Structure 1
Amino acid sequence: MNKTIRRASVFCLLLVAALLVRVTWVQAYQGQALADDKHNRRNLIGQYENPLGNIIVGGEAITGSVKTGGKDFQYKRTYVDGPLYAPITGYSSQAYGVSMLEGVYKNILNGSDSRLKTPMDILTNKRAAPGNVLTTIDKGVQKAAYDALQGKQGSAVAIDPATGQILAMVNNPSFDPGRITGATDEQAWKELSADQGKAMENVALRKPQAPGSTFKLVTMAAAIENGLVSDIDAPTGIPGAYTIPGTRTALPSEAGNEACNNVSVRTALRLSCNNVFAELASKLGQDKMRAMAEKLGFNTETATPVTARPASKYPSAKMSVDQVAQTGIGQFDVQATPLQMAMVTSAIENGGKLVAPHMVSEVTDSGGNVLESFKDPKSDQVMNAKTASMLQDAMRTVATQGGGKPAQVAGAEVGGKTGTAQRGVNNSLSPLAWFTSYGKRDGKQIAVAVVIENSDTDRSEIGGGKLAAPIAQKMMAAWLGK
């Protein structure tokens, strides 16, 4: 063998050896990583080669699977009352991925979670039978909110204050997730994505907005906790003709300067007197206001276990004295979701204890064995029980004598707070109409928050009591009437 052939042979042997080393490395060390790679189409195909597990409401599946007749994707997701439950389920799409509970529990629902595997599944490397996700949603409360929101753009959330269970979460407009479950639903996706995706926007969880006068509950809680208010029926000494501190700008109240002159905190909450709560916030200062807001969940991404983000916001950056005063009435840069305001009212109704809100009670395997349970959620005493009692007392006055009258439920104790929040440059957009309330009867309790972004109501008639309170009433009646 001449020198040239020998060198070529050695080089070829080295190439073969390098190839063997590479193959061994890929199979032994990188195989699992490549198999799990999100760009591996086989994984996506595998997710839909069998029926998916289900999301459960009240013991009934609100999801299903149907055969496609296709070679790769043999099944696709189906939904029962898709628009009704879309804010909870989200979607499971062969082309566009997953969202909400479909996304958080994707591996449970498609059988790839390691906790689902039996010894035989492990031996055969077979995908396990899928598990199920049991929600805390109450069908009656969910349907009541959905029906009441028709014809309006907005959102509503209900919580059981004692357990933290989310009983309802509704957005309108909503969407039918069943339209985009297949691999060829591009036109439906384009339609739902139009107008910046508002049809699929989860206002309840992920669109913080100015809470308006509903935030006065937070201001009042801070004032009581910090000793600024000890008697909700004592005159405050705050003039009705009020100028925002540090400015020459008058701050009017809808009830009028005379009606809000030197009133008690109870009366100020009933009439929604801006002067009283702006002055309380000004006296408390930014740090004490923010501390109270953060105890109630502001500035924190709330796990539901579907995370609510961006977080509801009370400003952390240094504010001027006039800006602090404006936060006292839920304006300036305060932002909240309906979930957040329902949490505020939930803590008030529950004696000052805030139980972590959640929309899933259990996650099970195909045989019903519990893999995860959320029946003992975290709770925090965010205000004194006496403070909560004083707030409840004042909120009852709003519901019996003030703008919250439309929220009354026969035979139940109801307390509430209305809110109207200005929007846009020079108030160019329609105001937000808010209402938050609690109701209790015969050992059952519920906390609700509703926001209406747009309706066919004349601008002069937009208000939380007129637009949002009747929706809250139907939700509370659906729960308390059982």
Structure 2
Amino acid sequence: MLLGVVLFFASLIQAHAQEVERALFRALQGTQGSAVVLDPRTGAVLASAGKQRRGSPGSAIKPLLLEYALEHGIVRPEMEVYCRRDLHVGGRALPCTHPADHPVFTAESALAESCNTWFAEMARRFSGPALEEAFHEFHLQHASMNLVNVEQRQLAVLGLDGVSVSPLEMGRAYRDLLSRMPRDGVIARGLRDSVSYGMADPAAVKGVDILGKTGTASDAGEAWTHGWFVGAIPGRYVLVVYVPHGDGGTAARLAQKFFRDITSEGQTR
């Protein structure tokens, strides 16, 4: 009797994993993208598609470092930064692309709109050793941060230099983030707003609660950019999508296909 129950539930789990895998392959069909889906409760890989490439994470890394900064009092949620949309770091132009109608950002709105200027200010408040510890906590492959200068810290916090990730590593880092951040705290609200109206808006599915963040970056020696979407349906899935040629919006649109497919109640906006 007990064996029969165990086999029944094992068959349900297997059927669900197959459903997730089919949805992921359909979402990426005809693209060069890669993706991974994790169970947020166990960390198990539910599905994986495409080649596990590595790349700079761009803005997708911002929620991880913000969580560390909030936990350790490096910044406060209400810290306000005025954004002129013309950030330059180390001779690199890193202009913000969010709307200009609300130029003052706090942690929550900066995360939703991916304000580079706000996060560059956060990087100023990190010490090198603190940034080193933050990367270690989330198990992200990185260059040593202990002796880096302010500009190098800023580029690292913006995910543009000094750190490289794979989709699986990013998925595991976000699973850790989801387990440690308050369910309705600053980061959860910022990630939800990012999908509702911010930079991750292309991933939105009507009627589905999605948290997400995009990232766009290029690696050394490459003239093109790659894109990331990292997000979750809380309690159900952690999803990472990587596109080798494109941007975060491209990755978010692929994520939307997966979310729409896997949620029968979802209807695209």
Q: TM-score, normalised by structure 1?
A: 0.48
2:133 alignment counterpart: 291
Structure 1: gaps spanning 5 or more residues: 1-57, 61-133, 172-201, 299-312, 353-384, 455-461
Q: Which amino acid aligns with 1:336?
A: V
Q: Calculate percent identity across the aligned residue pairs.
A: 26
Structure 2: gaps spanning 5 or more residues: 1-9
**CA distance, structure 2, for counterparts of residue 135 and residue 282 of structure 1:** 48
Offset at 1:447? Answer: 0.9
Decide whether the 8 Å contact of 1:136 with 1:167 is kept in 2: no
Offset at 1:151? Answer: 2.3
Offset at 1:401? Answer: 0.7
Match of 1:267 among 97, 109, 129: 109
1:453 alignment counterpart: 244
Offset at 1:325? Answer: 0.7
CA distances 1:416-453 after superposition (whole Å, capped 9, x unpaired): 1011112343x52x21011111113xxx4211111000
SS in 2 for 1:322: helix
1:463 alignment counterpart: 247
Q: Which amino acid aligns with 1:464?
A: G
Q: 1:411 to 1:417 in 2, by over 3 A?
A: same
**CA distance, structure 2, for counterparts of residue 238 and residue 285 of structure 1:** 23
Q: Which amino acid aligns with 1:321?
A: V
Decide whether the 8 Å contact of 1:260 with 1:268 is kept in 2: no
After TM superposition, the structure 1 = structure 2 runs for residues 38-437 of structure 1, keeping only pairs within 5 Å, are: 59=11, 138-171=17-50, 202-203=51-52, 207-231=53-77, 234-237=79-82, 240-244=85-89, 247=90, 250-255=93-98, 258=100, 261-298=103-140, 313-316=141-144, 318-350=147-179, 352=180, 385-386=181-182, 389-425=185-221, 428=223, 430-437=224-231
Decide whether the 8 Å contact of 1:417 with 1:437 is kept in 2: yes
Q: 1:242 to 1:297 in 2, by over 3 A?
A: same
Decide whether the 8 Å contact of 2:77 with 2:108 is kept in 1: no
Decide whether the 8 Å contact of 1:225 with 1:387 is kept in 2: no
SS in 2 for 1:330: coil
**CA distance, structure 2, for counterparts of residue 211 and residue 323 of structure 1:** 15
Decide whether the 8 Å contact of 1:210 with 1:330 is kept in 2: yes
**CA distance, structure 1, for counterparts of residue 73 and residue 192 of structure 2:** 22
Q: 1:242 to 1:431 in 2, by over 3 A?
A: closer
Q: 1:409 to 1:262 in 2, by over 3 A?
A: closer
Q: Which amino acid aligns with 2:34?
A: S
2:232 alignment counterpart: 438
Q: 1:402 to 1:434 in 2, by over 3 A?
A: same
Offset at 1:222? Answer: 2.2
> How much is the aligned-residue C-alpha RMSD, in angstroms?
2.8
Q: Which amino acid aligns with 1:475?
A: F
Q: Which amino acid aligns with 2:129?
A: D
**CA distance, structure 1, for counterparts of residue 27 and residue 208 of structure 2:** 20
Q: 1:388 to 1:341 in 2, by over 3 A?
A: farther
Aligned length in residues: 255
Decide whether the 8 Å contact of 2:64 with 2:177 is kept in 1: no
CA distances 1:396-422 after superposition (whole Å, capped 9, x unpaired): 000101132232234321111011112
Offset at 1:238? Answer: 6.0
Q: Which amino acid aligns with 1:269?
A: L
Q: 1:439 to 1:169 in 2, by over 3 A?
A: same
**CA distance, structure 2, for counterparts of residue 342 and residue 260 of structure 1:** 31
Offset at 1:250? Answer: 4.7
Offset at 1:326? Answer: 0.3
Decide whether the 8 Å contact of 1:140 with 1:478 is kept in 2: no
SS in 1 for 2:49: strand
Decide whether the 8 Å contact of 2:26 with 2:258 is kept in 1: no
**CA distance, structure 1, for counterparts of residue 167 and residue 161 of structure 2:** 18
Offset at 1:170? Answer: 0.7
Q: Which amino acid aligns with 1:251?
A: L
Decide whether the 8 Å contact of 1:398 with 1:417 is kept in 2: yes
Structure with more relative contact order (C-alpha pairs < 8 Å, separation 6 or more): 2
Q: TM-score, normalised by structure 2?
A: 0.82
